């Protein structure tokens, strides 16, 4: 079955959530200091403005103190023009975020379904390419969840493939992104994984792996601040960029993609 074109539509909307003060206790692999709620909210405002400047209507949900990582809205849901899927994040402190984001999905989509079964999928493990949606197994996304999600996507007319996120990488998309026009940005390890077949890959220069997580939003690619070699590589590949600070998000392993759910409304 051929997938519908995944990335050739214009995004019209995004859902975000203001970082809570409790983000200071957010999950992280390595402790490099606690993020500050105030500083994170200031960076978040710039992020929301960049999405608006790219032409999106942005819903900013209120901060949710009971879920320290809840500003990373990419993980509890996945959005397609046909509808949204409420996911089940695969770590105890975040599992309930699916229910928390449900009302925001219902407000924007006629069709919202919950991930079938009892497996786990984090949205950060889902990479949408033009002809296939890749689902990375990780410490957060298990086989049961990935298979159930792939089956659901197939029922909606999309090609889906399950692959292994490389060892030590939090989410599949921590190490790769789509730049648009069929081009992928990936760390060297991810680029060598074989997941991308013959597709064109821009490899993230040495020492800048964090910058593998960028987002293409309509005419521009949003790139994290502080990664000049990656920025130059993306621009050399012909993409227009906007640089944004992610210093607070980074302290709790967050990047640009995890801070929003981007989608095209059905009418667009």
Choice from 11, 47, 67, 72 touching ligand CIR (CB under 6 A):
72
Q: Which long-range contacts (CB under 8 A, 24 or more apart) does 246-250 make?
A: 246/43, 247/39, 247/43, 248/19, 248/23, 248/35, 248/36, 248/39, 248/40, 248/43, 249/35, 249/40, 249/43, 249/71, 249/72, 250/32, 250/210, 250/224
**Residue 252 marked ligand-binding:** yes
Per the CB < 8 A criterion, the answer to whether 79 and 265 are in contact is no
44 is catalytic: no
- Pattern 161-190, ligand CIR, x by CB under 6 A: ---------xx--x----------------
Separation between Cα atoms, residue 63 and residue 86, nearest integer Å: 19
Interaction of residue 35 with ligand CIR, rule CB under 6 A: no
27 touches ligand CIR (CB under 6 A): yes
**Tokens (6 digits) for 95:** 């599992």
- Sole binder of ligand CIR in the list 179, 252, 256, 261 (CB under 6 A): 252
Contact between 76 and ligand CIR by CB under 6 A: the answer reads no
Q: Applying CB under 6 A, which part among 11-19, 67-75, 148-156, 232-240 lies near ligand CIR?
A: 67-75
- How far is CA 138 from its chain centroid? 14
Counting Cβ atoms within 10 Å, is residue 136 exposed (0-12), middle (13-18) or buried (19+)? buried
b or e along 232-253 (b: 16 or more beta carbons within 10 Å of the residue's beta carbon)? ebbeeeebebbebebebbbbbb
State which residue, 34 or 59, has the beta carbon closest to ligand CIR. Answer: 34
Determine which residue in the list 6, 35, 124, 166 makes contact with ligand CIR, applying CB under 6 A. Answer: 124
Size of residue set near ligand CIR by CB under 6 A: 17
Residue of the chain from 35, 258, 260, 262 that contacts ligand CIR (CB under 6 A)? 258
Q: Is 171 annotated in the active site?
A: yes
Q: Which is nearer to ligand CIR, 43 or 253 (CB)?
A: 253
Q: Which of 71, 79, 176, 258 is catalytic?
A: 258
CA dist 105 and 115 (Å) reads 14
Dist. CA 173–CA 134, nearest whole Å: 10
Q: Report, in Å, the least distance between residue 30 CB and ligand CIR.
A: 11
Of the pair 80, 212, the CB lying nearest ligand CIR is at 212
- Residues 196-235, one symbol each (x = binds ligand CIR by CB under 6 A, - = not), give ----------------------------------------
The distance of Cα 200 from the centroid of its chain, to the nearest Å, equals: 20
Closest CA to 195 of 122, 129, 145, 123: 129
List, by residue number, the catalytic residues. 171, 258
Q: What residues are designated binding site?
A: 27, 69, 74-75, 94, 140, 252
Residues engaged in binding ligand CIR (CB under 6 A) = 26-28, 69, 72, 74-75, 94, 124, 170-171, 174, 252-255, 258
């Amino acid at each position: 079955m051929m997938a519908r074109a995944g990335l050739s539509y214009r995004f019209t909307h995004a859902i975000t959530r203001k970082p809570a003060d409790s983000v200071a206790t957010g999950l992280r692999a390595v402790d490099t200091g606690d993020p500050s709620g105030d500083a994170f909210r200031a960076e978040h405002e710039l992020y929301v403005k960049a999405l608006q400047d790219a032409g999106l209507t942005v819903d900013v949900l209120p901060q949710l103190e009971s879920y320290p990582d809840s500003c990373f809205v990419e993980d509890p849901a996945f959005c397609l023009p046909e509808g949204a899927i409420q996911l089940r994040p695969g770590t105890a402190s975040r599992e309930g975020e699916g229910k928390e984001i449900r009302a925001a999905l219902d407000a924007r989509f006629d069709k919202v379904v919950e991930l079938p079964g009892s497996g786990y999928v984090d949205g950060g493990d889902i990479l949408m390419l033009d002809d296939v949606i890749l689902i990375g197994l990780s410490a957060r996304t298990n086989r049961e969840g990935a298979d159930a999600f792939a089956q659901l996507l197939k029922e909606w007319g999309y090609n889906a493939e399950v692959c292994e996120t490389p060892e030590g990488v939090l989410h599949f998309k921590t190490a790769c992104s789509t730049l648009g026009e069929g081009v992928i940005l990936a760390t060297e390890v991810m680029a060598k994984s074989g997941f991308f077949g013959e597709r064109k890959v821009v490899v993230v220069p040495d020492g800048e792996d964090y910058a593998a997580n960028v987002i293409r939003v309509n005419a521009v690619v949003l790139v994290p601040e502080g990664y000049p070699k990656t920025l130059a590589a993306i621009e050399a590949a012909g993409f227009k960029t906007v640089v944004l600070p992610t210093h607070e998000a980074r302290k709790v392993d967050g990047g640009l993609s995890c801070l929003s759910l981007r989608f095209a409304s059905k009418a667009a």
